[in-house]
Structure 1
Amino acid sequence: MKAEVLAVVLGLVSAVTLALVNTAVKIAGDILVARSVLSVTAALVTLPGLLLVGAPDPGTVAALVWAIPAHLFYQFCLVRAMTHGDLSLVFPVMRGLAPLLTAISAWGLLGERLNPAGWAALLVATAAIIVFALPPRGVSLRRHPDARALLWAGGTAIGVALYSATDARGVRAGSDPLDYIVWLFLLDWVGITLVALTLRRRAYLAAAVMQWRTAVTAGLLSVASFGAALFAMTLVEVAKVSALRETAVVFAALMGALLLKEGFGGRRIAAAAVLAAALIALQFAG
């Protein structure tokens, strides 16, 4: 029982810190540069892990070859989504769509059947995301003010699904899961930083200096979130931890409304709560 309680606490800590990471990045003046500094910070924090692992074995290298591009695609889409839309809009959409895409693809491509409870959860989650995606009252879909943000949020969801698959493969491919985790963090910063340097050029350093405190804090929180989730997964089933982590959509909606003063707070918080409940139910549907 104590292990289960600890796992619940860690899962919720992971969810809150995940929401805080994205809130900190959103607060930053230049989201692309902030994401780059975040990734560099995570790599530096992970650097002592080299004392625990050796050079990556062939299985880990092969997994990283697929994982690094998937993570870069996710990060770039995330930056674009958060640049063009509110946190309380794009975060729940991107986090909510990923499990839905996975469930639908597993049904359509792999023939995995959902039971009635699973279908109900899928439909409720879809309805909640539609609520997020609807334009303000009186505005047509053609003139949707957040169309670009929602498009990038959809791309981010695809990125989440891709890196989830590649990471699952990575922790199983090598001789030790820790090898993959350490090397992923050590290499993950390269792609997004090259993109930031290419697009920002001389402005990169000035932007990094201006917002380094926020970005470094986000990097530390990112490692804490991932670490808490991994630790929780050693105590209880992975599905339970993943379900708890889905509550991040509620925390992100709350932070967007309270800290960033984003509009439609009440509607989005309610929709986020419904979405989180449906995603949790989907995790446990047989």
Structure 2
Amino acid sequence: MLSYTGGLVLVAALLHASWNAMLHGNRDRFLSMTWMSIAIAAVATLAILFTPLPASAAWPYLAASGLVHIVYNVSLVRAYRRGDLAQAYPIARGSSPLLVTLGAALFAHEAIGPLHALGIAMISGGIIALALQGGRVSRVGALAALATGASIALYTVIDGIGVRLSGGEALAYTAWMFLFYWLMPVLFVAMRGLAALWTPIRAAPIAVASSLAGGMVSIAAYGIVIWAMQSGAMGTVSALRETSVVFAVLIGRVILREAVSARRWLACVVVAAGAVCLGL
């Protein structure tokens, strides 16, 4: 049976797939990501008023993570310009559990048992199998998705170490890290101008509202992950979170009407089996 923490990480996986679907479903993903970031940063700004400061040792990590998250956001937008959700999303997520496990072993001296190692390998293998099916992702799109996956692994390891140095202040650590999301609207305005940011409020209010909602979902999704990494192995938490690709395939099929082959469903079963191994 999955532990309480594991169950919450699965909830985070569902939430994560949901906000990715919101992002992918909007026509202008850069604009959508920017409004998502505004929602995230606004909530973080409010949260820091009511939470104590993280321990000083955590500050270099939360700052580094905040900057890597901006790189991640831009890479994700580029990845979603090519390919459908059921392909770009697995490529972006598939490589990260193994990279996180390696990074945690090198920098946090984490060790995992053989059963959990098998679970991580099954989840990564299943995700990669999902990504390799269909052949509709261009080379540029695949490279953008892989860059996204590398940034995921990087910020996950950084946050795993940083939250453990925060003095037990996971919420405060998360809020201060998310303050860096104010850089996204700055970047957007620098590239497109202020009018391009504000005009959609009147021209496309539903798209802006869905982006703001996606930002709120994103806060909950990754906040749970940071909390879980206080005591859970980073590779295990990362791999369990990446079961979100199964939810992404379901969302892609049911809501976005994307085709899902029998081989893709089989890969989802492998990912689910890997999650079971992590819960034993």
Give yes or no for TM over 0.5. Answer: yes
Superposed displacement of residue 124, structure 1: 4.1
1:147 lines up with 2:123 in the alignment = no
1:203 lines up with 2:203 in the alignment = no
Size of the aligned set, in residue pairs, is 274
1:89 lines up with 2:87 in the alignment = yes
With normalisation by structure 1, the TM-score equals 0.78
What SS does the corresponding residue of 2:81 show, helix, strand or coil? helix
Superposed displacement of residue 67, structure 1: 1.5
2:251 corresponds, among 255, 270, 277, to 255
**Quick one: structure 1 residues 128 and 244, their matched pair in 2 at CA, closer, same or farther if it must change by over 3 Å?**
closer
Superposed displacement of residue 227, structure 1: 4.2
Q: CA RMSD in A?
A: 3.5
Report the Cα distance in structure 2 between the residues aligned to 1:170 and 1:181, rounded to whole angstroms: 10
Kindly indicate whether the alpha-carbon contact (under 8 Å) linking 1:100 and 1:122 is maintained by their aligned counterparts in 2: yes
Report the Cα distance in structure 2 between the residues aligned to 1:267 and 1:166, rounded to whole angstroms: 35
Structure label with greater radius of gyration: 1
Kindly indicate whether the alpha-carbon contact (under 8 Å) linking 2:90 and 2:131 is maintained by their aligned counterparts in 1: no
With normalisation by structure 2, the TM-score equals 0.79
| Unaligned residue ranges in structure 2 (runs of 5+) | none
1:218 corresponds, among 214, 219, 239, to 214
Mapping of residues 1-286 of structure 1, within 5 Å: 7=5, 9-54=7-52, 58-104=56-102, 117=115, 120-121=118-119, 124-125=122-123, 127-134=125-132, 136=134, 145-177=137-169, 178-185=171-178, 187-201=179-193, 202-207=195-200, 209=202, 210=204, 211-229=207-225, 237=232, 242=238, 244-278=240-274, 281=277, 283=278
Report the Cα distance in structure 1 between the residues aligned to 2:121 and 2:60, rounded to whole angstroms: 37
Superposed displacement of residue 237, structure 1: 4.7
Superposed displacement of residue 274, structure 1: 1.5
Aligned partner letter, 2:87: L
Report the Cα distance in structure 2 between the residues aligned to 1:38 and 1:32, rounded to whole angstroms: 10
Superposed displacement of residue 249, structure 1: 1.2
**Quick one: structure 1 residues 110 and 232, their matched pair in 2 at CA, closer, same or farther if it must change by over 3 Å?**
closer
| Unaligned residue ranges in structure 1 (runs of 5+) | none
Aligned partner letter, 1:103: T
Report the Cα distance in structure 1 between the residues aligned to 2:51 and 2:113, rounded to whole angstroms: 42
What SS does the corresponding residue of 2:259 show, helix, strand or coil? coil
Superposed displacement of residue 155, structure 1: 0.8
Percent identity, aligned pairs only, is: 29
Report the Cα distance in structure 1 between the residues aligned to 2:240 and 2:164, rounded to whole angstroms: 23
**Quick one: structure 1 residues 9 and 173, their matched pair in 2 at CA, closer, same or farther if it must change by over 3 Å?**
closer
Aligned partner letter, 1:146: S
Range with greater deviation from structure 2 (104-113 or 169-178): 104-113
